Amino acid sequence: MDDPTHSSDIVTRVRGVLTLLWGDRAGAIEREACDILGVEGLRDYFRDPRKGFFAFHIKRYSKSRRKAPIYWLLQSEKRNYGIWLYIHRLRPDALFTAGRDYADAKVALEEARLEELRQGLDALNGSARRRREREIERQQRIVAEVTEFRNRLDRVALLNLPPDLNDGVVISIAPLWELVPWKEAQRTWERLVSGEYPWSTMAQQMQKQGLVKA
Domain segments of the chain as ranges:
48-208
Secondary structure (3-state) at 156: helix
Pairing verdict, β 71-75 and 82-86 = antiparallel
- pLDDT at 126 > cutoff 80: yes
Residue 174 one-letter amino acid? A
Tell me the longest C-alpha to C-alpha distance in the chain.
66
Secondary structure (3-state) at 179: coil
End-to-end CA distance of the chain: 37
Contact by Cβ (8 Å): 99, 18: no
* 200 vs 168: CA distance, rounded Å: 9
- Residue 67: enclosing H or E segment and its boundaries? strand 66-67
Mind giving me the DSSP string for 84-100? EEEGGG--TTHHHHIII
Q: What is the pLDDT of residues 129-171, one digit of tens each?
A: 899 899 999 999 999 999 999 999 999 999 999 999 999 999 9
Q: In this structure, how many other beta carbons lie within 10 angstroms of the beta carbon of residue 97? A: 12
Residue 139 one-letter amino acid? Q
Give the Å distances, CA to CA, from 179 to 84, 85, 131, 185, 189.
11, 12, 33, 10, 12
51 — pLDDT class (breaks 50, 70, 90) = very high
Find the radius of gyration of the CA atoms of the chain: 20
Average pLDDT, the chain: 95
214 Cβ contact partners less than 8 Å away, ≥ 6 residues apart: 194, 195
**Whole-model pTM above 0.75?**
yes
